[in-house]
Amino acid sequence: MYTILGAGLSGISASYHLGHEDCIVFEKNNYLGGHIYSEKINGFTWDEGPHVSFTKDEYVRELLADNVSQEFLEYPVEIANYYHGNWIPHPSQSNLFALPEKLRAECLSDFLKTRNQLNNAIPKNYEEWLKLAFGEKFYQEFSRAYTEKYWTVRPALLSTDWVGERVFYPNIEDVKNGAIGPLSNQTHYISKIRYPKKGGYFAYTNKLRVGLNVKLNKELTNISFKDKKLSFKDGSVHHYKKLISTIPLPFLIKKSDAPTEIKEVSEKLSCSSVLLINITANHKTLKSYNWMYVYDEDKLSTRINCTELLSPENAPIGKTGIQVEVYFSKYKPINQSFDTIAEKVMAELIEMGILKNKVTVIDYHTKWVKWANVIFDHERRDALNEILDYLNQYGLQRNEQDLLPMTDWTNYKAPKEADLYLAGRFAEWKYYWTDDCILRGKNI
């Protein structure tokens, strides 16, 4: 019998692939889904950020399509970047034509100078990687600014092992041509996306969760790795034989009988939190972009999406649901009330032409998401290694990819049967997307 902590996508996938009859799942919330839960409020459907599927994995594509009985939308994605009154197609590094002439020339000149001087130097941090990839001027105006808003840290504090395809590395001709006018070819790693026709992103688990043996409102207060015992806030206890943890690794260690030195190491694992501001307005969508990145450092808004552009079923006809993300962390602590931030964000949306005016606002609400993104700083790898080594004595089997930010599923070798498993973005402290979470559950 498998015991699973957390009924997010990784937990649901693990139970589904192992067999629901062989699993029991404990979830602290009164609902399933974790970060992919879709909340329905007054006719609007809200995800936690713009969740979309663009996986190339055929198994995951077919599984998700089957979960919504083939009732999904598939369409080319349109993404834009806002920079001081200019809307720039995405990725901005290969669409410099949309910039003011002087800035465009400076970015292109620096880019070409950097590429012409390229040697085999290995960047020591993300700042060096960005400068080598895009040049000094683009780095200062765009990459640095957005990194500090989204990741909440200076680029120099980040490693480079997580980058992979997550940041587009343009070729010289694309940048040169993109400085003249729009490119005919798509240069972003996302071209088409899929999204459930109705029910929000959570609908992709419609069939996965049928038969799930889950206990809700079960908040973990203590875990004894030595005794294989879980204690919950409601006073109940559960003894496990095999445990699959999908909950955040620092939280798991904090609530455990791990020694003080391991708990201190777990505090070195950094992540961001996000405040979601969900605004409904009595007018149609004013921008056609599926989501938008905001580079301006004087604006709190970091990423924006309109829920009805994911699916028309997500909002009443003629109305718009605008979701804005604002990020914080121990490096960038929140120092204003949620309502103060929401008021500032609405003013920014009006300035950017996404919201008509304050009078058209029907309502807004905020949602605080404590665990948003793993921050891939220079302490992550060593801290994670020490924690995994500690857990090894309690049945966790190490594997050759467990320290990597991403997992190469085509070459993944599942470890031999174990008593303790970690599964999911925050449990494994990786840069996982939803297809990774599904495949991790499949590969327990």
CATH number at residue 225: 3.50.50.60
Total domains present in the chain: 3
Are 112 and 174 in a shared domain? yes
The CATH number assigned to the domain holding 320 equals 3.90.660.20
The alpha carbon of residue 45 and the mean position of all alpha carbons in its chain are separated, in whole angstroms, by 19
Pairing of the two strands 23-26 and 214-215: parallel
Are 173 and 214 in a shared domain? no
Q: What is the pLDDT of residues 335-384, one digit of tens each?
A: 999 999 999 999 999 999 999 999 999 999 999 999 999 999 999 999 99
Q: What is the pLDDT of residues 78-123, one digit of tens each?
A: 999 999 999 999 999 999 999 999 999 999 999 999 888 766 778 8
Are 289 and 225 in a shared domain? no
Q: What is the pLDDT of residues 384-418, one digit of tens each?
A: 999 999 999 999 999 999 999 999 999 998 878 89
Are 339 and 294 in a shared domain? yes
* 308 domain-assigned: yes
> What pLDDT score was predicted for residue 119?
67
Are 277 and 329 in a shared domain? yes
Q: Which of 178, 197, 229 is the last residue of a domain?
A: 178
* 431 domain-assigned: yes
* 346 domain-assigned: yes
* 43 domain-assigned: no
Are 20 and 97 in a shared domain? no
Say which range, 30-34, 70-74, 194-198, 409-413, has the weakest mean pLDDT: 409-413
> What pLDDT score was predicted for residue 85?
97
Mean pLDDT of 179-186: 81
* 195 domain-assigned: no
- Give this prediction's pTM: 0.95
Which amino acid would we find at residue 316? P
Domain limits at 131? 91-178
> What pLDDT score was predicted for residue 441?
98
Percentage with pLDDT > 70 across the chain: 97
Spatial neighbors of 295 by CB under 8 A, at least 6 apart, are 81, 82, 83, 84, 92, 141, 142, 145, 146, 149
In the sheet that 79-83 helps form, which strands lie side by side, from edge to edge? 86-89, 79-83, 291-294, 303-306, 320-328, 271-281, 361-374
- Residue 183 structure tokens: 């490119």
* 340 domain-assigned: yes
Mean pLDDT of 216-227: 99
Q: Say whether pLDDT at 188 is over 60.
A: no
Find out whether 327 and 152 touch, Cβ atoms under 8 Å: yes
Length of the chain: 444
> What pLDDT score was predicted for residue 257?
98
Q: Say whether pLDDT at 50 is over 60.
A: yes
Q: Say whether pLDDT at 166 is over 60.
A: no
Say which range, 15-24, 180-189, 317-326, has the weakest mean pLDDT: 180-189
Are 142 and 222 in a shared domain? no
Pairing of the two strands 361-374 and 271-281: antiparallel
When the pLDDT of each residue in the chain is averaged and rounded to a whole number, the result is 96
Mean pLDDT of 50-60: 95
Are 340 and 388 in a shared domain? no
* 218 domain-assigned: yes
Q: CA 363 to CA 324: how far, in whole Å?
A: 14
Phi, psi dihedrals of residue 26, rounded to the nearest 5°? -115, 125
Considering only residues 166 and 222, tell me which one the structure prediction assigns the higher pLDDT: 222
Are 387 and 249 in a shared domain? yes
Q: Which of 374, 407, 423 is the last residue of a domain?
A: 374
Are 138 and 259 in a shared domain? no
Q: Which of 348, 374, 400 is the last residue of a domain?
A: 374
Are 432 and 383 in a shared domain? yes
Provide the pLDDT confidence category of residue 165 given band limits of 50, 70 and 90: low
Q: CA 405 to CA 159: how far, in whole Å?
A: 10
Are 242 and 283 in a shared domain? no
Find out whether 185 and 108 touch, Cβ atoms under 8 Å: no
SS3 204: helix
User: For the residues of 254-314, what is the DSSP string, one character each?
Assistant: HTBS--HHHHHHHTT--EEEEEEEEEEESS--S---SEEEE--TT-S--EEEEHHHH-GGG
**Phi/psi zone of residue 132: left (φ > 0), alpha (ψ -120 to 50 degrees), beta?**
alpha
Report the first-to-last Cα separation within the chain, whole angstroms. 13
> What pLDDT score was predicted for residue 121?
74
* 235 domain-assigned: yes
